[in-house]
Amino acid sequence: MSEARVAVRKTYKLFIGGKFPRSESGRSYIAQDANVALASRKDVRDAVVAARAAVKGWSGATAYNRGQILYRVAEMLEGRRDQFVGLGLSAGEVDEAIDRWVWYAGWSDKITQVYGGANPVAGPYFNLSAPEPTGVVGLAAPPSFLGLVSVIAPAIVTGNTAIVLAAKDAPLAAVTLAEVLATSDLPGGVVNILTGDPAETAPWLAAHMDVNAIDLTAVTDPALATSLEEAAAGNLKRVLRPPLTAPDWSADPGLTRMTAYLETKTVWHPKGI
């Protein structure tokens, strides 16, 4: 006798500080036929605290170590490939996303040489410029899975930590990605993912004084994008504005998404005997 097995359903929760809490507000909403946590202002603030706490360790890790951890994420993604396809994503997109993650993983120990360098100053001084992570980055994520991966990986590969606002109507892949990240040696707090309505949570993130940069690429409402950019001016966040035309996530990403969250530090020292 064969009776259909009753499936164990998943509760889709937030991802903050390496843990999977429900929204402190107790709210949820229905998206993609599932109950999903509806993040609140307090969740945003908790995520910023977790992201800030993770900055020291993650930015202080060696580039080799960060590269290995990001590569490990790609391994875990590959292992869960079918799970993402099961969410309705095309196999091609999932493959692209995994390859994109591998591409960024390799940048961890190369971006410093490509974007920094020695400066030939007119005097007896050693002078070196090197990029450093800006700190905590807020990301409004695009709805596509390839887009989601393409905004998170470049932010964290250089040593930043991130708060990701998953697209309102496509949160399941983001939560599943959180489960990948949680099992990939990525320290808790390096990536924090909030599901819910970015139109509600993004203003708190944009105005938060302990966030260093914000990515508005996926904000399609121009009025909202403008108000977020205005709020970001409160502590002079680095802002990645929405592009004029919808981004093509399958195109060569270039360095922009990494350099947008990098600071250049220049160190001088006299030469002498």
Partner 1 sequence: MFEYAPAPESRAVVDIKASYGLFIDGAFSDPADGASFKTINPASEEVLSEVAEGGPADVDRAVAAARKAYDKVWSRMPGRDRAKYLYRIARIIQERGRELAVLESLDNGKPIRESRDVDIPLVAAHFFYYAGWADKLPYAGFGPAPRPLGVAAQVIPWNFPLLMLAWKIAPALAAGNTVVLKPAETTPLTALLFAEICQQADLPPGVVNIVTGAGDTGRALVEHAGVDKIAFTGSTEVGKAIARSAAGSRKKVTLELGGKAANVLFEDAPIDQAVEGIVNGIFFNQGHVCCAGSRLLVQESVYEPVLASLKRRMARLRVGDPLDKNTDIGAINSAAQLERIRTLSDIGGEEGAERWSPPCDLPDNGFWFAPTIFTGVTQAHRIAREEIFGPVLSVLTFRTPAEAVEKANNTPYGLSAGVWTEKGSRILWMADRLRAGVVWANTFNKFDPTSPFGGYKESGYGREGGRHGLEAYLDV
CA gap 109, 204 in Å, rounded: 33
Which residue, 11 or 266, is less far from partner 1 as judged by CB?
266
Minimal distance in Å, beta carbon 268 to partner 1?
5
Q: Which residues in this chain contact partner 1 in the complex, by CB under 8 A? A: 114-115, 117, 119-123, 125, 127, 129, 134, 212, 222, 225-227, 229-230, 232-236, 238, 241, 244, 254, 256, 263-270
Minimal distance in Å, beta carbon 34 to partner 1?
35
**61 SS3 class:** coil
Single-letter code of the amino acid located at 66: R
Which residue, 114 or 246, is less far from partner 1 as judged by CB?
114
CA gap 180, 185 in Å, rounded: 10
Which residue, 55 or 94, is less far from partner 1 as judged by CB?
55
- The 3-state secondary structure of 92-121, one letter per residue: HHHHHHHHHHHHHHCCCCCHHHHHCEECCC
Minimal distance in Å, beta carbon 241 to partner 1?
8
**72 SS3 class:** helix
Minimal distance in Å, beta carbon 204 to partner 1?
17
Minimal distance in Å, beta carbon 121 to partner 1?
4
Minimal distance in Å, beta carbon 228 to partner 1?
8
Minimal distance in Å, beta carbon 103 to partner 1?
18
Which residue, 119 or 220, is less far from partner 1 as judged by CB?
119
Pairing between strand 161-165 and 136-140?
parallel
Cα→Cα distances 125→37, 117, 177, Å: 55, 14, 47
Residues 228/234/235/240 CA torsion (nearest 10 deg): 20
Which residue, 98 or 232, is less far from partner 1 as judged by CB?
232
Minimal distance in Å, beta carbon 154 to partner 1?
15
Q: Which stretches of the chain are assigned E, i.e. beta strand? A: 28-31, 34-37, 117-118, 125-133, 136-140, 161-165, 191-194, 213-215, 238-240, 262-270
Which residue, 91 or 114, is less far from partner 1 as judged by CB?
114
CA gap 205, 211 in Å, rounded: 7
Which residue, 26 or 222, is less far from partner 1 as judged by CB?
222
Read off φ and ψ for residue 236, nearest 5 degrees. Answer: 55, 50
CA gap 83, 193 in Å, rounded: 18
Q: Provide the 8-state DSSP code for 4.
A: P
Which residue, 40 or 160, is less far from partner 1 as judged by CB?
160
